[in-house]
Structure 1
Amino acid sequence: MRTEALLWGGVALFFGGTAALYGAWSGEPAGTAALVVAFGMGGVVAFFCAVQYRRRGTRAQDRPDAEVADAAGPVAFFPDESPWPVVTALGFALAATGVVFGLWLFLIGCGVLARGVFGLVFQYAHR
């Protein structure tokens, strides 16, 4: 993850420098804000990769002398299909439609959305 952290750190620095130069020369706030957000997103990914590298150390993919068999074995937990993303999307659609048609539909949408998010968060809590 060290290589990925350095790569995303470079992306974040590029967007940060571009945002500073663009903001100083153009004075246009919308483009500057978009570049600052891009800088923040690149920085978050770089930070995540750096933290994972510090926690887990080097992987087999990071070593030039590693064999293919060194990376064999279980990688991670990959969940099977889940109904909760569909419930969450339906709740968000109802809440957004409720903004147009009335408070009653918005509240129903918020309830469905909350149930979908709750299901997503806690579906593997017993694991």
Structure 2
Amino acid sequence: MKVEAFLFGGVAVFFAGSAVLYGYWSHWDPPGTAALVVAFLMAAVIAFFCGMNYRRKGRRPQDRGDAEVADGAGPLEFFPAKSPWPVVTAFGFAVLSTGVVFGLWLFLIGFGVLARGVLGMVFQYADRGDRQEG
């Protein structure tokens, strides 16, 4: 993941520089500058994620030239069987989007439901390593 972190870090630097230059030359045109800043933030988030995974898990078999196919065998990650939180998140986003059209009160309700759904997905299995079967 180190290569991916550097790749997306370079993309983030490119978009940051593009945002500054575009903003300066266009006299800080809000839509274009905002789009470039959002592109910078998205690339920076992916670069941060890849860098943290590299730091936490180390080199993958795909990153080593001397690795064998068998080095990559075994379970890759934990995937939950079923979860209600994606449905809650989608419903919250739908209500939030509808609130943009119909009013702030519906937007705030949708934001609350969306936040609960995202937090539910993030922390659903936060303590799965602490349980002991017996």
CA RMSD of aligned residues (A): 3.0
Look up the equivalent residue of 1:55 and give its one-letter code. Answer: R
Q: 1:53 to 1:106 in 2, by over 3 A?
A: closer
Unaligned runs of 5+ in 1: none
Q: 1:14 to 1:81 in 2, by over 3 A?
A: same
Equivalent residue pairs, number: 126
Report the alpha carbon displacement of residue 29 of structure 1 after superposing the two structures with TM. Answer: 2.3
| TM-score, normalization by structure 2 | 0.72
Question: What does residue 16 of structure 2 align with?
Answer: 16
Tell me the SS of whatever aligns to 1:11.
Answer: helix
| TM-score, normalization by structure 1 | 0.75
Q: Which has the higher helix share?
A: 1
Question: What does residue 63 of structure 1 align with?
Answer: 64
Question: What does residue 4 of structure 1 align with?
Answer: 4
Percent identical pairs in the alignment equals 68
Superimposed CA distance per residue, residues 46-104 of structure 1 (whole angstroms, 9 cap, x where no aligned partner): 1221122122211111111211111111111011232332233234434655673896x
Report the alpha carbon displacement of residue 13 of structure 1 after superposing the two structures with TM. Answer: 1.2
* Partner Cα distance (1:61, 1:116) in 2: 34
